[in-house]
Copies of this chain bind each other. A is one copy, B any other.
């Protein structure tokens, strides 16, 4: 098994964080990895807000609990908020598709790079899909025209045990031609 496959297995949603604070350097390294993700025309349509101020963290956590779930976020010591930035496509392409054509996939790639590097640093992450965007926008002074691209809780796991991955059998998802 490759080191990368092992890392894929280690990267899992962490829903119980320890009290340990995350070193700022490690948070930055996750962003370093995220910005190495591929993107359409290398447009890099992303930016990152790293939230680790103990005064702000609980407010960000609340934004992820807006559906009355995710109580565990109250223990997360830090968050990555991913924002969408303008994608400048090659002129030939820009005539055919709109500038946001590749952006959702590009953001998905950047977010998973972020989480994989976190796992490699023994950090746990949880990608939250639903969150109170208007409140988060006001809290972090994010301009109205900017879209959110991801909300990721990060911290040291209370329990570092790797759970078995639940996936469809590979035979069900692959075909050879």
> 9 tightest A-B contacts by CB?
A108-B108, A105-B108, A104-B104, A8-B36, A109-B112, A4-B120, A2-B120, A47-B173, A108-B109
Minimum CB–CB distance from A51 to chain B (whole Å) comes to 5
A 95-108 binary contact with B (CB < 8 Å = 1; else 0) = 01100011011111
Size bin of chain A's contact surface: 35 or more
Minimum CB–CB distance from A164 to chain B (whole Å) comes to 11
Contact A121/B11 with A111-B105, A177-B50 known, Cβ cut-off 8 Å:
no
Decide if B175 touches A113 in the complex (CB within 8 Å): no
- Pick the residue among B112, B129, B175 that contacts A101 (CB under 8 A): B129
Contact A102/B129 with A46-B173, A47-B174, A173-B44 known, Cβ cut-off 8 Å:
yes
- Pick the residue among B50, B117, B167 that contacts A5 (CB under 8 A): B117
Select from chain B the residue with minimum beta-carbon distance to A116. B4
A 7-21 binary contact with B (CB < 8 Å = 1; else 0) = 111010100000000
Which B residues are in CB contact (< 8 Å) with A112? 37-38, 108-109, 112-113
In Å, the complex CA distance between A93 and B131 comes to 12
Minimum CB–CB distance from A101 to chain B (whole Å) comes to 7
